[in-house]
Structure 1
Amino acid sequence: MFFLQLMSGSLLLPLVMSSGSGHSLWGLFTYISGPTQFPEFSMVLMLDDIQVGYYDSNTSRLIKVGGGGEKWAELDLGPLALNVLQNQMMSMRRRLDIGRKQLNLTSPGVYVIQRMWACEVQEDGQPDFIMSRDGVNGHDADSVQYNKTHFLYGGGDGWDFHWDTMVQMYEQMRFSNFYQPLCARTMGHLLESNKHLVMRRVRPRLRLLSQPGGGGAQITCLATDFYPRHINLTLLRDGEPVDEDQMTVGSVLPNGNGLYQLRKTLMVDEEELQRKHKYTCAASHLSLDNRLDVSWRAESFRSFRLHVISAPVVLLLVVVILLLVLMMMKMRKRSGSEEALHEGSEPGVEDRDVTAPLKNFSSK
């Protein structure tokens, strides 16, 4: 649970592809102290929003994830990568001991420290930003942000441990001369082998849904099955954007198939429905050359309700019409049979009286 809190909080940082340019590499580390069924140390490696690697202390192997290929295949990032992982494990073990003292977590049990490393590079491959953030048992510990010109260190709530000036200078040198170049090289390698995933462009499916509710109608602008996750979704009323504070705006969520979805919902009362506004759901996305939109003309609640309940009535009418057609076909078939029987009873050539010529002959 804390892992999700830590990750969602980090999405507010500027490095998370806010502009849609460049790429980001994430290392999500977990160290657990105490008896559990989980590995003592584990790491999930993500390129942008796609998991590409996994490591844990039980196997001490960096495994390739996604992108096809052999299952459980090694992810070859060079021997330096494994050394960095071992150093991260020892560092987190020490930081967990410090965190427990800082937060007065002295009773026996299971304790967790999580760390998030992330960096961003520009489209030309130049490193742009790098950060690290720690959390102990659900509490923010401290964080580092570095972007070539500024080095920022911050402590979390209740965290009294702070780096002095000398330590900050040393860490700034490590970030500048080691971690940032290493992150950029690793990202370049992963981009080359996973370009078919991170470079894809999948057009969104756009729908404008309307249903009665709350004495009016609920209008939902829904975009699904798009990639990448950055999308501009707008609900318009008669061509003018609806204010965000008037709507329920969701977050961009995974769609369960490697793609994303986003929805915005507006509640419209009966009075507004009677004005019969035109609502338009519009989307701008990297996969689209032009804006994609779909529209709906509002109706009054009564006509809207009749429109909704008319489906069973239509079904009943269809059944009645089918019954009438079957009855007419049956009557027509019966009528045709009676006509055929009547025609069969009239004398034909083979039914005429053949003795008639003889009778006429004898009478002569």
Structure 2
Amino acid sequence: MRSLSTLGFLIGSLAVSGGYCTADIETRSLDQIHEAAKAEGGVVNLWAGGDEKDQQNGLKEAFETRFPGMTLNVTVDLSKYHDGRIDEQLAANNLYVDATFLQSLHDFPRWKSENALLNYQPLEFKNIFDQFKDSEGAYYGVFIFSWSNIWNTGKVDAASAPKEYTDYLKPVFKDKLALTYPNDDDAVAFQFDLIIKQYGWQWFDDLIAQNPRWVRGTATPATLISSSNGSYAATFTSGIGLTSSGSLNVSFPTQGQFVSWPQTGAIFADAPHPEGAKLLTNFVLSDEYQKASGWSVRRDLPGPSGYPTIFDMPGTNVTAFRDFMLDRAAVERLRFRFEDKIGTAQGLSPLVDDL
């Protein structure tokens, strides 16, 4: 009996630890998956991390245009709220989310250990950078997010444009910075952590003396500085892409480090619409979507125009944020230190707050 029990434990351990692969490996074309998804009901429910309700409208439009008869229901909210609500659904055996794309990278290994994720290898799985994916396909990067220096060219002249994080301490930016609370967003906390490790906590104290407007949500600073009426002119806690947009211009530091990471996706094992979720995942990882989304999570695609691949981009370590997120005790200590200096994050969730 003891030998049989031990054998059963070892077999179970191999299955959980990846001793053998139990992944569903995709071999169908997008059109074939499309037909299966339509037969299933033609619906996909995606929960995506973000802080503006319309943040994934472009994906919804592109997906529904490419695949007639499909409906992509997207709910955007902060990743740190989505994960808790997903946990509630899983605990109640009442899952109605099919797939999720989140910033909270530490959640995915946990969900895999709880057998909550579908081991699924989409068509381009082999081309996803190994550092961005689970070996069995339980989760993988779907696109790259990053922060950058952003300023309004109508409010900041070329000579004063921020290039390094010390530039934000210049008198020209007094009362003109819009910054996301670092104690409200882990990716922003990591950005501040990198800067403080380079310049020390005195830099943060000097930044506070600039009287920035602290806001919730990483889209909020860019919205504020883009306004032609307001006084806010610059930020380094938003991402608007790799090129200028309207009155906003972007740059990346050469002496400092900027945060980048693979926004990570997964399909749930008990997804109500698994074929629809597979179609969405394969579309997001396809050439047509990856080439239009800035830096790619795939190693077989070149960097966007004017840039190398994300792994060759100076000034960032695209895997460092994952390690930061996994050390939750360190993240919490840092969060409370920021809170001690600037107070708790004020305002409603950015998805319902009025600017």
Q: Same fold (TM over 0.5)?
A: no
Higher relative contact order (CA 8 A, sep 6+): 2
Whose Rg is larger? 1
TM tier relative to shorter chain: under 0.3
**Which of the two has greater helix per residue?**
2
**Which of the two has greater strand per residue?**
1
TM-score (norm 1): 0.24
